[in-house]
Each structure stands twice: as structure tokens, then as C-alpha cells.
Amino acid sequence: MANLPWHKSTYSDGAHNCVEVAEGPVTGVRDTRNRELGHLDVPAREWAALLASVRAGR
């Protein structure tokens, strides 16, 4: 993840509930308030499926 750019998720509220993602073959997800605790790695296909489910309201 070190070479992929991190960006704030569009679902973050901008104040206290912020998540950053680094998208690539493996998507990294981390809490902006606890970056030092690391991140979760999610295969890109599964990340896309999760976002599609959220958008569909499931």
C-alpha cells in the first residue's frame, strides 16, 4: 500500500467518521484517526462488490 495514494472515502462525513482507501489490485482501508494501527487489505473484486451492495441499500 505504500506506493498507492490514499484518499478519503466519499462516504466519510469529513469530521469524525473518516475512512481512507488506497485502490489497486488489493484495496487498503484505514481509519484516519488511527492510521498507526495499520489497515485492512481487501481484494479489489470484493471491495467493488461491497460498494455495489452499499449503493444498492443492501
φ/ψ region of 55 (left if φ > 0, alpha if ψ in -120 to 50, else beta) reads alpha
SS3 state at 55:
helix
Residue 43 lies in a domain: yes
Nearest-angstrom CA–CA distance, 12 and 1: 20
As for how many domains the chain has, the answer is: 1
Q: What pLDDT does residue 14 have? A: 65
**Which three cell numbers mark 5?**
495514494
- The boundaries of the domain holding residue 22 are 7-55
Residue 1 lies in a domain: no
Sequence length of the chain is 58
Q: What pLDDT does residue 1 have? A: 58
Residue 2 lies in a domain: no
How confident is the model over 4-48, as pLDDT tens digits? 789 887 777 666 778 899 988 999 999 988 889 999 999 999 999
